Amino acid sequence: MGIANNLSTGFANIVSKAGKQLSVTYFNKSVDDVYDDDVTLSQSGTTLWTSGVVFPIKNTYGSAEANLLEQGKLKTSDQILYVNGSLSFVGDVLQVRVNLGSSTTGMEGYSIIPTGVIAPEVEDQKIYRKAYIRRLTNGSLIGE
């Protein structure tokens, strides 16, 4: 049992104690050749149900979040999501919608903010992914 397995087990333990149920839906993005602002999303595969830990953005001086807030890439209403490292959040034609909550208690839709998605690796294994998420005010991604 290596360090990566110990860290993955530790992260799974944190999620089991403090995690929220969430769903992750992947979409392929296509842009119209004629009108470059016409984006169409089509669901790619099935919706994945998992758990993750959610934190609010902290504006602590010198932190990564404070720097992204100052640059205008984050808002104070955004949140930080930690999930298993096997999930993918960024790609050239990939859009991701995250729904927090369960289907019985109601779900809130969030989009992934591509800036700042990190996935620390140990022994070539991604332990977790940290992503910034922004609440979807209309309930769906543009083009969905």
Q: Where in the chain are the domains?
A: 3-135
* pLDDT mean across residues, the chain: 84
Residue range 3-135 in CATH 1.10.3210: no
3-state SS record for the chain: CCHHHHHHHHHHHHHHHHCEEEEEEEEEEEECCCCCCCEEEEECCCCEEEEEEEEECCCCCCCHHHHHHHCCCCCCCCEEEEEECCCCCCCCCEEEEEEECCCCCCCEEEEEEEEEEECCEECCEECEEEEEEEECCCCCCCCC
| Each residue's pLDDT tens digit, 53-67 | 999 998 888 788 888
| Each residue's pLDDT tens digit, 6-33 | 999 999 999 999 999 998 888 887 777 7
